[in-house]
Chains A and B, each alone.
Chain A
Amino acid sequence: DQQVKQNSPSLSVQEGRISILNCDYTNSMFDYFLWYKKYPAEGPTFLISISSIKDKNEDGRFTVFLNKSAKHLSLHIVPSQPGDSAVYFCAASVGGNTGKLIFGQGTTLQVKP
């Protein structure tokens, strides 16, 4: 049972345009969400996070939106750059003090010059 789902395995956008990556979850107890970026042969790198008490968090070109009623979050990258080409994972925390994260399957983003 996949509690965190990224239904789009891949996304291709033109440089300078907006990239929107989506993530759905099923567990209403999740209270903290994160996005990670991963290049080949490297570990995931933390990008941005959002607490369930917020509906938006912004950091430079990256904005995460959270819609709790729809159990949906999205990552917007504006403007997209070729260096953004990577696999993006969303993750959710079950809360408490364990730090356990549940990851989605990942979406491969390709930004074309």
Chain B
Amino acid sequence: IAGITQAPTSQILAAGRRMTLRCTQDMRHNAMYWYRQDLGLGLRLIHYSNTAGTTGKGEVPDGYSVSRANTDDFPLTLASAVPSQTSVYFCASSPFGGNQPQHFGDGTRLSIL
């Protein structure tokens, strides 16, 4: 079934550790996005990529980095995790950037202790 695959589905991590959240899509979408969802705040954009080889910052980019080496993969890295990064992380994609719906994965629940 075509869509977005996120891994892991959940993770408990010690503060200070490095962690990479994986996101893969098989829809050949050009644009991909990372959001975090926190209670009372909705979803907030962390980073985005309009096409392979390019990335941009969203609302809350600090403490996170991304790369887009190819069309299908868009990993999110926490270089040194802190408790405030405890959240549910969603990856999304759309055919192109601009005004169109984004398709979401099922998320990664990350707890930083």
Instruction: Report if A and B associate in a common complex.
Output: yes
A: residues with CB less than 8 A from B are 4, 6, 31-32, 34, 36, 41-46, 49, 51, 89, 91, 93, 95-106
**Known interface pairs A45-B104, A46-B101, A99-B94; 14 further A-B residue pairs with C-beta atoms within 8 A, sorted by A's residue number:** A34-B101, A41-B107, A42-B106, A46-B103, A51-B99, A96-B97, A98-B50, A99-B31, A99-B96, A99-B100, A100-B45, A101-B45, A102-B59, A103-B43
Least CB distance from A5 to B in Å reads 9
A101 contacts B102, C-beta separation under 8 Å: yes
A43 contacts B105, C-beta separation under 8 Å: yes
14 CB-based A-B contacts, threshold 8 Å: A6-B42, A36-B104, A41-B107, A42-B106, A43-B90, A46-B101, A89-B43, A96-B97, A97-B98, A99-B94, A99-B97, A103-B35, A103-B42, A103-B43
Residues A105 and B33 in contact in the complex (CB < 8 Å), given A43-B90, A45-B104: no
The verdict on B56 contacting chain A, using a C-beta distance below 8 Å, is yes
B42 contacts A104, C-beta separation under 8 Å: yes
Closest partner residue, chain A, to B106 (CB atom): A43
* Distance of A99 Cα from B48 Cα, bound (Å): 9
CB contacts (< 8 Å) of B90 on chain A: these are: 43-44
Interface size bracket, B side: 20 to 34
* Distance of A43 Cα from B23 Cα, bound (Å): 13
The verdict on B44 contacting chain A, using a C-beta distance below 8 Å, is yes
The verdict on B2 contacting chain A, using a C-beta distance below 8 Å, is no
CB contacts (< 8 Å) of B48 on chain A: these are: 98-100
CB contacts (< 8 Å) of A44 on chain B: these are: 43, 90, 104
A32 contacts B107, C-beta separation under 8 Å: no
Bitwise interface map of B from 74 to 113 toward A, beta carbon under 8 Å scored 1, else 0: 0000000000000000101010111111111111000000
A98 contacts B41, C-beta separation under 8 Å: no
Interface set, chain B 1-52, CB cutoff 8 A to A: 4, 31, 33, 35, 40-45, 48, 50
